[in-house]
Copies of this chain bind each other. A is one copy, B any other.
Amino acid sequence: MLSKKTRYAIKALVVLGKNFGEAPMQISKIASDEHIPKKFLEQILLDLRNAGLLYSKKGAGGGYGLVKDPAEIFVVQVLRLTGGPVALLPCVSLNFYQKCDECSNEATCGVRDVFLEVRNATLKILSETSIADVIRREGLLIENTEV
């Protein structure tokens, strides 16, 4: 399961993606629109800023905005920045690798092999899906709902 942190981060980036090119958006606006605790969101946005995804502007009229086009930010990046490994086992994680302490031989572990396949499938989707894609899908879903 994704952590709330990761979920909030994705949601915030989607909102900011829709706002791309406009004036920066305030934390409180994002927080209330998306029902995210404001103080928690502050920390998350700060992390995303420190990672270079967002710019920020202090003072009256300040706020946050995307540094890059939403089409160039991929969901997998957000997972990784907010600490969520993509893999279901530490021993198949690219960015959060850890040896399974109960496993005697990683190279011949059938369980690992299965979850390697799962990781690859997940990774493919999440590294091909950008924030812009998420926004686009939302549009398609709304169309389908209206019909």
Contacts and interface: CB of A to CB of B under 8 A. Distances in A.
Given A102-B36, A114-B75, A114-B125, A87 B1 contact: yes
Please tell me how many copies of the chain the complex holds. 2
Main secondary structure of the interface of A (DSSP, over half): helix
A50 to B, nearest CB: 23
A80 to B, nearest CB: 14
Given A7-B89, A113-B137, 19 more contacts: A7-B100, A11-B102, A11-B111, A34-B102, A35-B101, A35-B104, A36-B102, A108-B138, A108-B142, A109-B138, A109-B141, A110-B136, A110-B138, A113-B134, A114-B133, A118-B125, A118-B126, A121-B121, A121-B122
